[in-house]
Structure 1
Amino acid sequence: MHPMLKPALRRAWRGRGTVQFGVTRAHAVKFGPLDIATGSFLELLDGTRGLPLLREEARTLDLSDHQVDTLVGRLANAGLIDDVRAAGPETDALRNRPGALDRHRPDLASLSVVHPEPGGGMRRLAARRAMRVQVRGAGRVGAAIAAVLSGSGVGRVEVLDGGHTEPWDVSPGGLPPTAVGERRDTAARQLVRRSAAGAAPRTAETAGSPAGGEPGLSLVVVAPRDGLSAYAPDPRSAEPWIASGTPHLYAGVMEATGVVGPLVLPGGTACAGCLALERAARDEDWTRMLSQWRSGRRTAVQACDLGLATAVAGLAAAHALSFLDGELPASTGTRWEAALPLLDWRAERMGPHHDCSCGAAGHTRRERSSGTGARQDTMAG
């Protein structure tokens, strides 16, 4: 291990003997007490020295080996130490691609802040290369989501959509003006390739797999050009993902209203069927109106403001990456919604419906009766 104080966390002395690492409330940590010697020792934690050399140099500061080990251990337990040489075949493969790693340094810095264990950021960034995500939709929202996921290191990003690119599909973070007239799926594949920091790895898990909800698919992001399919998703389209246990996240813009979520964990959180049953129970006319909205040929261009579409795409991509990195983001079983012009993001919890065949309601009841649930750890700053 070559300990390094996480460079993404800015340091400031709060007074004699106490250092604050980090500025923001979410990740700031106060650390102390420190005397002059231990304060000077912090400057040695730059990732260039292993523990034996650190102990040797610390003796010139009158610090014993025990003091060094104790201090490094305390810093690591506080989430302040990174290991620049985190081991593993995936991290070694990423480290051997310096051009790609340079592209990902901001992502790596962010992961090091979010995940406290030494080397945790590098391991998660490397793990993304083996993941496979499918984005359903190549409009202003879906194409931008695919580009962000690919640019963030997800090894294989597939985009499914039909037809040809229209001028109103173009966006700064998505399909370019030169794509107008091209097949949407072809243009989206080119966008994904341009956004990636190098070629995707070819593994037994990802090579040659057919599209769909089969094993090997880490996540499906449903971001249709028709925002109604994200705002009121059709349960029938989600049946293959429910059956295969494939997580899926909805995102889109409908009538100048952006939605992100819910992230559906099949059998664990509310699905599209649960949403449909709940809405029908609250509004007896909902099913009748929805069938009218879905029927017929729509020729009008969607009310999908570019700024809102970009915000939705960015938020959805961030939630997707958080999930791929092993967390349960705030969209899990929850829809986030904001409408122009005020853009006040509000969260609506989507509970499983007891009449839905997905079984999530039974899972929730068992979880409540057994007293289990998600554990949340917080680190005070």
Structure 2
Amino acid sequence: MHPMMKPALRRAWRDRQSVQFGVTPAHAVTLGPVDTATGALMELLDGTRGLPLLCEEARAMGLPDGRAEALVNRLTAAGLLDDPTAGGPAVAALRKRAAAHDRLRPDIASLSVIHPEPGGAAGRVAARRAIRLQVRGAGRVGASIAATLSAAGVGRVEVLDGGYTEPGDVAPGGLSAEAVGDRRDAAARRLVRRAAPDRPPRVAETQDPVGREPGLSLVVLAPRDGLAAYAPALQESEDWIAGGIPHLYTGVVEATGVVGPLVLPGCTACAGCMERGNADLDPGRGRLLAQWRSGRRRTVAACDVALATAVSGLAACHALSFLDGGAPASAGTRWEVSLPQLSWRAQRITPHLDCVCGAAGKTEREHTSAVAPTHATMNG
């Protein structure tokens, strides 16, 4: 082990005997009592020394035997230490791709704040390279999500959409003005490649031991028609459920942005649960949906570029949290934000007894434990 204080956490003496690591209340940790000599020893924890050398340095500073080991154990228990040599073969391979590693260093630093184990952050970023996901929709929201996930190190980001890029599809972080007139899917693929920290993984890098392609870890549904994200078609929802594919809905309709629900088939409430619940509360819902979806009028979709950018960023965060093994707040919940107030509000979706997804048969404990499945489960 080569102990290193997590560089992402700013360090400051709170008083003469305690040190605060981190600025924000969400992740700050205060450690004490810490004497001046131990504080000086902390300065040596920069990842360049193994534990034996640290012990020698501590003795040279006049510290008693065992002080270095005790400090390392204490800091590790508090989630304040990292190890630049940890993380296994995938992390070692990432370090060899120096340009990609440099691009992803800020992401690793960020993850180190929320994953306490040494090497845990680098391991999660390295694992993203083997992930395969789809973004369905290459408009202002979907293209930006695809580019962001690719830039975050996800190895295989597939974008599906039809038609040709229109001027209204152009957005910062998404399709460029130069792509207008090109096929949307082709333009989005170019965008994904440009955003990636390095070349896409070779097929052999992502196959399992018997040579099979990885399954989809996640599908992000970001249709250009925001209505299809706000009120998804039940047949499409049932197809994802039957395939056991986790999926996240997001988009902008009129002046409202939505992120969620993130659906874990059979475990959390799905779009079908949501629509059936809405129909129970509003008997006229079906008639409205039929008219909204009729397509009799061809109009420019209302999609504010700043709102679309905010929605795509939040959706990408939720997707990455799930892919890294976390439990984002969009699981079984829809988040909405509307102009001009811009106050996010959550709508918890209750599993519906008549829905084919089967989530209604789960207990609350089962719903909670299923939110963060392993990559093996997602890819299986």
- TM-score w.r.t. the length of structure 2 is 0.93
Give yes or no for the alignment of 1:287 onto 2:321: no
Offset at residue 351 of structure 1 (A): 1.1
Q: Give the secondary-structure state (helix, strand or coil) at the position aligned to 1:104.
A: helix
User: Which position in structure 2 is the counterpart of 1:28?
Assistant: 28
Distance, in Å, in 2 between the alignment partners of 1:60 and 1:295 is 79
Written as runs of structure 1 = structure 2, the 5 A alignment for 1:88-167 is 88-167=88-167
Distance, in Å, in 1 between the alignment partners of 2:272 and 2:206 is 30
Distance, in Å, in 2 between the alignment partners of 1:206 and 1:148 is 21
Q: Give the secondary-structure state (helix, strand or coil) at the position aligned to 2:363.
A: helix
Give yes or no for the alignment of 1:73 onto 2:73: yes
Segment of structure 1 superposing worse, 297-306 or 143-152: 297-306
Distance, in Å, in 1 between the alignment partners of 2:263 and 2:180 is 33
Offset at residue 201 of structure 1 (A): 1.1
User: Which position in structure 1 is the counterpart of 2:41?
Assistant: 41
Distance, in Å, in 1 between the alignment partners of 2:64 and 2:322 is 42
User: Which position in structure 2 is the counterpart of 1:263?
Assistant: 262
Deviations 1:213-269 (A, max 9, x none): x96111000000000010011121122321121110000001110000010010011
- Alignment CA distance shift 1:34-1:329 (3 Å): same
- Alignment CA distance shift 1:215-1:295 (3 Å): farther
User: Which position in structure 2 is the counterpart of 1:17?
Assistant: 17
Offset at residue 373 of structure 1 (A): 5.2
User: Which position in structure 1 is the counterpart of 2:336?
Assistant: 337
Give yes or no for the alignment of 1:349 onto 2:348: yes
Unpaired stretches in structure 2, ≥5 consecutive residues: 208-212, 373-380
Give yes or no for the alignment of 1:202 onto 2:209: no
Deviations 1:194-224 (A, max 9, x none): 00011111245857xxxxxx96111000000
Offset at residue 312 of structure 1 (A): 0.2
Opposite residue 63 of structure 1, the aligned amino acid is: L
Offset at residue 87 of structure 1 (A): 3.8
Deviations 1:44-82 (A, max 9, x none): 000000101001101022223422111111101111000
Distance, in Å, in 2 between the alignment partners of 1:373 and 1:235 is 26
User: Which position in structure 1 is the counterpart of 2:231?
Assistant: 232
Distance, in Å, in 2 between the alignment partners of 1:232 and 1:308 is 19
Distance, in Å, in 1 between the alignment partners of 2:67 and 2:333 is 47
- Alignment CA distance shift 1:215-1:290 (3 Å): farther
Distance, in Å, in 2 between the alignment partners of 1:215 and 1:33 is 50
Q: Give the secondary-structure state (helix, strand or coil) at the position aligned to 1:109.
A: helix
- Alignment CA distance shift 1:243-1:206 (3 Å): farther
Whether the aligned pair in 1 keeps the contact of 2:108 and 2:122 (CA below 8 Å) is yes
Opposite residue 180 of structure 1, the aligned amino acid is: V
- Alignment CA distance shift 1:51-1:296 (3 Å): same
Unpaired stretches in structure 1, ≥5 consecutive residues: 208-213, 377-381
User: Which position in structure 2 is the counterpart of 1:379?
Assistant: none
Whether the aligned pair in 2 keeps the contact of 1:337 and 1:347 (CA below 8 Å) is yes
- TM-score w.r.t. the length of structure 1 is 0.93
Offset at residue 366 of structure 1 (A): 7.8
Offset at residue 17 of structure 1 (A): 0.9
- Alignment CA distance shift 1:353-1:339 (3 Å): same
Distance, in Å, in 1 between the alignment partners of 2:65 and 2:199 is 45
Question: Identity percentage over the alignment?
Answer: 68
RMSD after superposition = 1.8
User: Which position in structure 1 is the counterpart of 2:375?
Assistant: none
Deviations 1:167-205 (A, max 9, x none): 000001100001000000000000000000111112458
Distance, in Å, in 2 between the alignment partners of 1:317 and 1:373 is 22
Whether the aligned pair in 1 keeps the contact of 2:87 and 2:120 (CA below 8 Å) is no
- Alignment CA distance shift 1:286-1:111 (3 Å): same
Whether the aligned pair in 2 keeps the contact of 1:205 and 1:216 (CA below 8 Å) is no
Distance, in Å, in 1 between the alignment partners of 2:165 and 2:229 is 20
Opposite residue 134 of structure 2, the aligned amino acid is: Q
Opposite residue 82 of structure 1, the aligned amino acid is: D
User: Which position in structure 1 is the counterpart of 2:378?
Assistant: none
Opposite residue 341 of structure 2, the aligned amino acid is: L
Opposite residue 357 of structure 1, the aligned amino acid is: V
Task: Tell me the matched-pair count.
Answer: 367
